[in-house]
Amino acid sequence: MTTSQPVLLFYCQHAVGMGHLVRSLALASALTERFRVVFLSGGRMPRGLRLPRDVEVRALPPLALGPDNRLISCDRRRGVERAQQLRREQILAAYDQLQPAAIVVELFPFGRKKFAPELLPLLERARQTGSRRPLVVCSLRDILVGRPDDQRSHDERAVSWANTYFDAVLVHADPRVARLEDTFKPATPLRIPVEYTGFVLGEPACDPSRPKARYRRIIVSAGGGLVGEPLFRAALDAQQPLWASERLETHIVTGPFLPDSAWQSLRVEAAHRPGLRVRRFVPNLRAQMRASVASVSQCGYNTALDLLWSGVPSLVVPYAEGTEDEQTRRARHLEALGAIRVLPADQLDGPSLVREVRALLEFQPAPLAVDLDGARHTTRLLEDLLRRQPA
């Protein structure tokens, strides 16, 4: 990286899990090939997560969403209002100091409405910079969460902000699999270009052309783990029957955000059980999947891509609390393509998991030819968009 590279300011707020952060860091790492990337991270940083070496990460006072969907401060030294004030000041200070050539905002305005008070001042300042105005783009995953109570007003607000402040939307999906209009349907047209980058996969865990070494184990995971306890409890209930009849080991990877009380409880229950291993974190979950005979997981963006890349026979239990339908949409679409099997969360328990895992051992996932090179394509698209900016 050289100081002559244009500066790119990348804003990311993960509020529940860590999928948004993992994808954004993979993008930021790829973008360092052409940009000096300064990464504004708004959530709690997971333990054990390796940060890209060439990305300058600036941690904002961390905020998250609590069980009631209200903002909570992850730092006991300050409340939400004080954290919000400091974040606004730090974001604007970063912009003024860096004078970036490009700003990438993850998800907003298609989500993260609660963070509008800190993002709109940044976007307004960027819009008023005149001839030095930076390129402003939205970094968007494949599927948006449905909002049955206010879908129309949400979409109209999002399209208004997008048309006012943004120059393009980069959708990190293969359009043959998922398109923005599948989950975003405003009455007002979106006047800025929508570009599909392909799915964003981090650095490959290993050479995918190498033969697969399958150990007789299932690997159970739930992303960051914050909402994974029901899956882990069912996996504990299913473990002994699967070990007794199938001699199938169960490896549970809880993720760094599983509440500590749940983690300690799982450890106690798992102690001295043959054929069972419980861990908080593994450095390369994708490689662990590839080396297993089966995977049981939720169906977040990054997990779904890990499953597709690894080719492991997979059962997913989509997170579907309240109005959350993103994982269910993704899971059902991949199921229709023959890539995975699906067990609805309301049918999850130990006996159902035993039945599904036994069926999974006979399941051969259909190979999908999807574009997983989204990080590299994003770099190219941003360069092209910058070149087309008015002088």
Task: Work out the average pLDDT over 172-191.
Answer: 93
Domain contains 245: yes
122 shares a domain with 58: yes
- What is the extent of the structural domain holding 163? 7-200+372-387
380 falls in which pLDDT band (50, 70, 90)?
Answer: very high
Instruction: Say yes or no: 380 and 347 in one domain.
Output: no
Over the stretch 85-119, which tens digit does the pLDDT of each residue have? 999 999 999 999 999 999 999 999 999 999 999 99
Residues 113 and 251 in one domain: no
* Strands annotated E in 284-387: 292-297, 314-316, 341-342
Residues 23, 84: one domain?
yes
Contacting residues for 193 by C-beta, under 8 A, at least 6 apart: 168, 169
pLDDT at 3 over 70: no
Summarised one tens digit per residue, pLDDT across range 222-238 is 988 889 999 999 999 99
Instruction: State the Cα–Cα distance between residues 119 and 116, nearest whole angstrom.
Output: 5
If asked whether residues 234 and 306 sit together in one domain, one would say yes
**Same-domain status, 86 and 166:** yes
Residue 219 placed within a domain? yes
Residue 206 has pLDDT above 80, yes or no: no
| Structural domain contains residue 205 | no
Distance (Å, whole) CA 189 – CA 158: 11
Q: Residue 203: what pLDDT?
A: 61
Q: How many domains does the chain divide into?
A: 2
DSSP one-letter string for 189-218? PP-S-EEE---B--S-SS-TTSPP--EEEE
d(CA 302, CA 265) in angstroms, rounded, equals: 27
Higher pLDDT pick, 152 / 163: 163
The count of residues in the chain is: 391
356 & 376 share domain: no
For 253, the enclosing helix (H) or strand (E) is strand 249-253
Do 24 and 132 sit in the same domain of this protein?
yes
Which among 379, 376, 232, 191 has a CA at the least distance from the CA of 317? 232
Residues 67 and 35 in one domain: yes
Looking at the structure, do residues 377 and 301 belong to the same domain, yes or no?
A: no
Average pLDDT (230-254) is 96
Q: Check which CATH number belongs to the domain holding 126 and give it.
A: 3.40.50.2000
Query: Is residue 366 domain-resident?
Result: no
Domain identity same for 300 and 356: yes
Lowest mean pLDDT among 191-205, 207-221, 260-274: 207-221
